[in-house]
Amino acid sequence: MTARLFLYDTTLRDGAQTQGVQFTTAEKTRIANILDALGLDYIEGGWPGANPTDSDFFDAAPQTRATMTAFGMTKRSGRSADNDDVLAAVLNANTPAVCLVGKSHEFHVRTALGIPLDENVENIRASFAHLKAKGREALFDAEHFFDGYRADPAYALACLHAAHGEGARWIVLCDTNGGTLPGEVRATIEAVIQSGIPGENLGIHTHDDTGHAVANSLAAVEAGARQIQGTLNGLGERCGNANLVTLIPTLLLKEPFASRLQTNVTEDALKGLLKASRTLDDILNRVPAKQAPYVGHSAFAHKAGLHASAIAKDPSTYEHVDPASVGNSRIVPMSNQAGQSNLRQRLREAGIEVEANDPRLSRILDTVKEREAKGYAYDTAQASFELLARDALGLLPRYFDVERYRVISERRRNAKGQVVTVSEAVVTIQIGAKRITSFHENHHTPDEGDAGPVHALSRALAADLGPLQGYIEDMRLTDFAVRIVGSGTEAVTRVVIDSEDDTGRQWTTVGVSGNIIDASFDALIDAITWKLVQDDAPVPA
């Protein structure tokens, strides 16, 4: 028999408390649609009345299958629930569900609110009686519940029962400061159930201050709670909230959860998890966390040689779930720790079959080793690796040759006496019978982005690829990382470039040189060439 588990997302409310995050109303709407497609049960859209963005969002909230929920706080002392304008603003958002946060820790009632303990209990009771009268599905976020229960269990429970007694659908136990560990979460929830609130009415809301937000959520479910509150990518105040992107696949794919619990997330929606996670990063202009469980770029990357050879025999040797189940894929990166089986596997993924013991395999390995000793790093730059291997196998079309390039970067005063920086790049290539020279120039003040010599060079390169221009029009440089490798007179510069195109493909290339411009140039050429190979571009005559 399976029990229903409900997933409650607070990316748009607690997630918006992340340092450096400030959603626009349009971004909130976009994220709500992502959450809905994923199959979440509740979407907490914000606090109506607390700020213009949240109010605007509720004014035109998107239609969702998920229950749209407005957040607010229990009524304040000294006025009735009917006469509390803060509470009224929350109800005026007209959402089917309303979640009110209230104190459940006597220390906070005394220190932060400064009111008698009983009065706080009565404020909670009256607030939930009010929601019942208004016919809303009601949720109580019991703030600091675990700390409160540790300090004064009877008082903490009294706060919960005040809401539960007025018919609140969910009593959500919050580890607001994120300091509670799983053993205590489990024992506390058992005691709450013992006190008379069934697990079907209990939710859990955790923070990651000790790295246990996910573990605490699952401990709560094991103890009987049936709602988890969390955020996409673990956004949230301080170290963040429980990461739903980590929790969802564990709940759906792993025991003891998969066979005992039923969520609203389908197998198919789960396959969109990586995309949902990356889209949020895009909206936030964040580099996706490479090592994120399930959806990280490295989550199924097998670098150790022994691992890679076993993976080739049976992926389950070093994978706890199938990467495709969450929309991710296996990576067998090249590195000097890798062997031939690793190499063949990697080539197979690039659509290149090579027989075992083909002598070209060891030539490729030697080239990789030799170039890695010079500073190249092929475990991330797989596109450059593929080009290297294709070249060794005679499978690399020669699309164009670079005749020369020149970059100038200059800081000077302009006619008005202002300091300006100017970068310009000229590139000459031979493509088929054509010789093409392209030029790009940028002027900028020191604070402006999208400038400088590498930018000028990439624009000049992409400006005119003659007959192949149509193949690279939708290509963009998305990240650019530079590292000095070695030191002293041995030091060289490694440039790693991430690119993407309109099909959503992302690829990484590397260039190495004593000259940062030169290294960048080589990585840019690889990025363009890989794209041409992928799209089967014809070699110009």
* Nearer residue to a second copy within complex by CB, 135 or 259: 259
Find the shortest distance in angstroms from Cβ 192 to a second copy: 20
Residue 223, classified by CB atoms within 10 Å of its CB into exposed (0-12), middle (13-18) or buried (19+), is buried
CB of 135 to a second copy, least distance (A): 28
Distance of CA 264 to the CA centre of its chain: 21
Measured from the CB atom, the residue of 413 and 416 that comes closer to a second copy is 413
Sequence-separated (6 or more) residues with CB below 8 Å from residue 190:
223, 224
- Contacts of 508-513 with CB under 8 Å at 24 or more apart are 508/380, 508/381, 508/382, 508/383, 508/384, 509/381, 509/383, 509/384, 510/376, 510/377, 510/378, 510/380, 510/381, 510/384, 511/384, 512/371, 512/374, 512/375, 512/376, 512/485
Name the residue nearer to a second copy (CB basis): 310 or 354: 310
Report the residue number, 266 or 316, with the smaller CB distance to a second copy: 316
Report, in Å, the least distance between residue 37 CB and a second copy: 23
Nearer to a second copy, 150 or 161 (CB): 150
HSE-CB at 404 with a 13 A cutoff on CA atoms is 3
Decide whether 227 or 341 has the Cβ nearer to a second copy. 341
Quote the least distance from Cβ 1 to a second copy, whole Å. Answer: 20
Burial 506-537 (b: 16+ CB within 10 A, else e): ebbbbbbbeebbbbbbbbbbbbbbbbbbbeeb
Q: At closest approach, how far in Å is the CB of 109 from a second copy? A: 11
32 Rama sector, left if φ>0, alpha if ψ -120 to 50, beta otherwise: alpha
Residue from 151, 134, 156 nearest 75 by CA: 134
- DSSP for 216-261, please give it: HHHHHHHHT--EEEEBGGG--STT-B-BHHHHHHHHHHSTTTTTTE
Nearest distance from residue 513's CB to a second copy, in Å? 5
Q: How far is the CB of 261 from a second copy (least distance, A)?
A: 14
Nearer to a second copy, 155 or 405 (CB): 405
Q: Could you identify the residue written with the tokens 């959520």?
A: 217
Output 502 or 536, the one with its CB closest to a second copy: 502
Of the pair 324, 408, the CB lying nearest a second copy is at 408
CB 173 within 8 A of CB 220: yes
Closest approach of a second copy to the CB of residue 65, in Å = 27
Smallest distance, Å, CB 500 to a second copy?
12
